[in-house]
Structure 1
């Protein structure tokens, strides 16, 4: 696994160096900026986490967070000697993810860093199991389909049809092939159940999204998932 990259922004050089040396013992890659202006030149999507002091000359930590939050989505941990509740609330409301008051222990800082990075990894892992197409999203882990954020109440076969077509966008599946893949060759159901299931799927989607017919019929050939096909 590649080293996690952290940016420390603090005008106290001793604090920056102490944090850098400690985190590097645990295989983190640490870069340092001693002002908000210097940090702005370094900010990019490459950082996995940013540690940000509040009280700095020029661009302070609060202002810097507001500037960079649209550029980066990594966790931002504020470290500050300001202990008032309103300071903490403001820091978290403008895009900070955590707040540690100075003085703090390095073990605690590392524990907070580890916690945020684990959460980010879980979020990225979960996103790999979400499949989206325009207003339709499939949660492949939960076996659920959503249209405009609303869960569709589907039968198991209807879910399997949507999943099959969405995973193979623009691939045409004949009625026979869908039946084979979803019901199985040994099924006692009739081939026409495919037609009925697709009709039900369209009805359930149309109740929430009347603009697009996601499953396109190619007469004589079968069906395919095609969000460019507008229902007339």
Structure 2
């Protein structure tokens, strides 16, 4: 009975993972979110955060300035394993730091000191965005490939294909706009949500095509438009 009760609570309450080496701040945030109707757990360093993702949090609050493994490093280490929103908490406010944060896989950036109410609103907004995304159904893109936008999952002949988040998002972006050509800068801006080195898009597209081909799909559906960019074609 207790296990069933815990499972029902988890289904009804989002889990917030709080990662901060300042224990007073971490514990304060845990108390705030629990009082606000969330479940909350805490990790006090980067290594503990990486282990804690096994609990499958719905959103992660990740401090940047931690000794040892900093927040950017943790984000890069877990981003391919988790699709939930990651919000950085940091005293850094320079544009370069913000770009690093988004490039490493973060979804939002809250500068310290912050208002608990503002942080709570940011968390709620990210969760609402994920919920809107989850209302989409499975869409068949062609004879080989379908996409489950609810689970952020690409499937080939009905079998799921293991893709890192960036490859999935590139695939979904192109598939949602068939025949529209996206240059690398447009793809980077849409997928990474920040300016940066768009040359990395080429490597992600190569990996995406390879994964689709290995799964038995015709990867030529992701077309290269020479001198321009990429598009989803028949």
Contact residue 13 and residue 34 of structure 1 kept, 8 A: yes
CA deviations on 1:21-75 (whole Å, 9 max, x unpaired) are 1111121000000000111111136110000001111111010000000010000
SS in 2 for 1:8: strand
Q: Give unmatched runs, 5+ long, in structure 1.
A: 140-145, 152-207, 210-232
Q: In structure 2, how many angstroms separate the alpha carbons of the residues matched to 1:95 and 1:138?
A: 21
Q: In structure 2, how many angstroms separate the alpha carbons of the residues matched to 1:76 and 1:138?
A: 22
Contact residue 136 and residue 148 of structure 1 kept, 8 A: no
Q: In structure 1, how many angstroms separate the alpha carbons of the residues matched to 2:118 and 2:132?
A: 21
- What residue in structure 2 maps to residue 150 of structure 1? 178
CA deviations on 1:186-226 (whole Å, 9 max, x unpaired) are xxxxxxxxxxxxxxxxxxxxxx98xxxxxxxxxxxxxxxxx
- What residue in structure 1 maps to residue 14 of structure 2? 4
Q: In structure 1, how many angstroms separate the alpha carbons of the residues matched to 2:28 and 2:148?
A: 46
SS in 2 for 1:77: strand
- What residue in structure 2 maps to residue 212 of structure 1? none
Contact residue 136 and residue 147 of structure 1 kept, 8 A: no
Q: How many residues align?
A: 146
User: Taking structure 1 as reference, are residues 148 and 97 closer, same or farther at Cα in structure 2, changes over 3 Å only?
Assistant: closer
Q: In structure 2, how many angstroms separate the alpha carbons of the residues matched to 1:131 and 1:78?
A: 35
Relative contact order: is structure 1 or structure 2 higher (C-alpha 8 Å, sep ≥ 6)?
2
User: Taking structure 1 as reference, are residues 148 and 82 closer, same or farther at Cα in structure 2, changes over 3 Å only?
Assistant: closer
State how 1:112-151 maps to structure 2 within 5 Å. Answer: 112-126=122-136, 128=137, 130-131=139-140, 134-135=144-145, 150=178
SS in 2 for 1:89: helix
Pairing partner for 2:64 from 54, 58, 61: 54
Q: In structure 2, how many angstroms separate the alpha carbons of the residues matched to 1:4 and 1:105?
A: 21
TM-score scaled by length of structure 2: 0.57
- Name which one, 1 or 2, has greater alpha-carbon Rg: 1
TM-score scaled by length of structure 1: 0.57
State how 1:1-232 maps to structure 2 within 5 Å. Answer: 2-44=12-54, 46-126=56-136, 128=137, 130-131=139-140, 134-135=144-145, 150=178
The alignment's C-alpha RMSD in Å is 2.6
- What residue in structure 2 maps to residue 181 of structure 1? none
Higher helix share: 2
- What residue in structure 1 maps to residue 157 of structure 2? none
